[in-house]
Chain A
Amino acid sequence: MSAITLDNITKTYNKGSVLAVDKATFEVAEGETFGLIGPDGAGKTSIFRVLTTLLLPDGGNATVAGLDVVKDYQAIRNCIGYMPGRFSLYQDLTVEENLRFFATIFNTSIEENYALIKDIYVQIEPFKKRRAGKLSGGMKQKLALCCALIHKPVVLFLDEPTTGVDAVSRVEFWDMLKRLKSQGISILVSTPYMDEAALCDRIALIEGGKILSIDSPANTVKKYPGKLYAVKSSNMHLLLQDLRNYEGTHSCFTFGDSMHLSFKQEAEDNISKLTAYLTSKGHQQLEINEIDAGIEDYFIRITEKANG
């Protein structure tokens, strides 16, 4: 049985004038960590809210743990954990009070499922008497995860758990997800950070309410059409402008300390011609290397296509 299924789910707002989710179809297998990758406004949160029974879809069917999101919403609410995008704990309650409250409303106690949250909770336990509002972003995130896990959910929904969290906390957070996966919990997680996509079993790329691709991270990047090159020179800003003006360029975007370049047509002499062009423009310390595309490269590529 799949943990989650979506079949042509559509969601509109303002009486149909805003199309948030457009016929989304995908499946999350039991025990899988599935990533929903896309920028703000792509429709990620709407999909989460439909699946967590907070919103009714306008069309299509969806199930969570084999239960229909419309008909069986009460049953679903008993067996899922949900961490909304915004920090959603009581700021004026202490760490412990928050956890105890959520345990009770889910008909359980901290003690009963302590084993599940132990790894995470020990990190925030020293601050258990502190009000949640006074925690750092990373700590809040951990507490929220504990609260979402305390009733041992079958499926865990994490809507942008790492947004606004620093890089170190993000790495720690993904480590925790890995451990949860080993406990057999199915996880649907969304993120705007493309580099986190590689940590999921499978990912769906989403933009403008449409699912553009569903595959494992490794297979996703293999779908990148043609070759991709990393270009460097001593004057990066000038390099970007020159590459964009180059006639053979299909697209060029900055990626960290280099430019990622793809050509309109694959040809043997592409590199030699480009080298000559850039040298004529006065670029020094030129480096051009063929590289494997990343998720972000692929995302840019297919959204370009979608946009025009």
Chain B
Amino acid sequence: MDNIAIKAEKLTKRFDDFVAVDAITFDVKQGEIFGFVGANGAGKTTAMRILCGLSKPTSGTAMVAGYDVYKDPEKIKKVIGYMSQKFSLYDDLTVMENITFYAGIYGLSDKDIKKRGQALLDQLGIGHEAKTFVSSLPLGWKQKLAFSVAIIHEPKIVFLDEPTGGVDPVTRRQFWDLIYAAADRGITVFVTTHYMDEAEYCNRVSIMVDGRIDAFDTPSNLKKRFSVNSMNEVFYQLARGAKRKAD
């Protein structure tokens, strides 16, 4: 079972009488790019919080990188990376200061921070921008930088919460190049997105509706099952029937 990065079984989260996550079962393989798709309010964020060790489930089991979300949330946090569209980097710190800060949180040595930080900037082609304030970087660069920083400690799994929102189409694709490169290095990628074409880039996709996982397969199998040409249509067919719209 070494090659399983995340395993959830009947994972449930209740808030009073509201079931945000309703007995979801799925597994993510090591090095896989796993798309976590769903309508607003379907329960994606809640599920993601549980897996990141930020929130305790009501029932069910979940193992992340071999650790139990009930018993070892602190250990989970050490071996994962996280990036979201809303919050990524500190605007009032320079590029290198951001890198130093995040790498420092994960206990990297000064030598490692310097080495990996420079390698990271070179990979992004912004080696000369180390002393630039993040606020003056274009949005596309910021997002790419944020992702690279989120995996600077070589986590086993990286969680990406709508990482490409509002980004221009070219940068969006460059961003996915980075995701592929990370997956090739063996980092498991768990990503949520509203762009359905991006769901096609994932190895496997789960589609959440009303707190349940209604579909879970490779994009090509899903399209075959619903006899449609795109993931957009798959999603539309599934989410149209959602009841929990106002929540």
Contacts and interface: CB of A to CB of B under 8 A. Distances in A.
Contacts of B170: 253, 300, 303-304
A39 B235 contact: no
B139 A130 contact: no
Contact of A167 (B177, B239, B244, B245): B239
B207 to A, nearest CB: 11
A256 B236 contact: no
A171 B167 CA distance: 21
A192 interface: yes
Interface residues of B, number: 42
User: What 3 A-B pairs have minimum CB-CB distances, sorted nearest first?
Assistant: A39-B168, A40-B166, A137-B40
A164 interface: yes
A207 B168 contact: yes
B194 A164 contact: yes
A166 interface: yes
B232 interface: yes
Contact of B139 (A41, A193, A195): A41
Contact of A168 (B168, B171, B180, B240): B240
B246 A166 contact: no
24 contacts: A42-B168, A127-B246, A136-B244, A136-B245, A136-B246, A138-B39, A138-B40, A163-B165, A164-B165, A166-B38, A166-B40, A167-B39, A167-B232, A168-B240, A168-B242, A169-B39, A193-B195, A207-B168, A240-B180, A254-B173, A254-B176, A256-B230, A300-B169, A300-B170
A167 B168 contact: no
Contacts, number: 102
Interface string A225-237: 0000000000011
Given A39-B169, A256-B200, 15 more contacts: A39-B166, A40-B168, A126-B246, A136-B246, A138-B39, A139-B245, A166-B38, A167-B196, A167-B239, A169-B39, A240-B177, A253-B169, A257-B200, A303-B168, A304-B170
Interface of A: 38-42, 124, 126-127, 130, 134-139, 163-169, 171, 192-195, 207, 236-237, 240, 253-257, 296, 299-300, 303-304
Interface string B207-229: 00000000000011001000000
A139 B231 contact: no
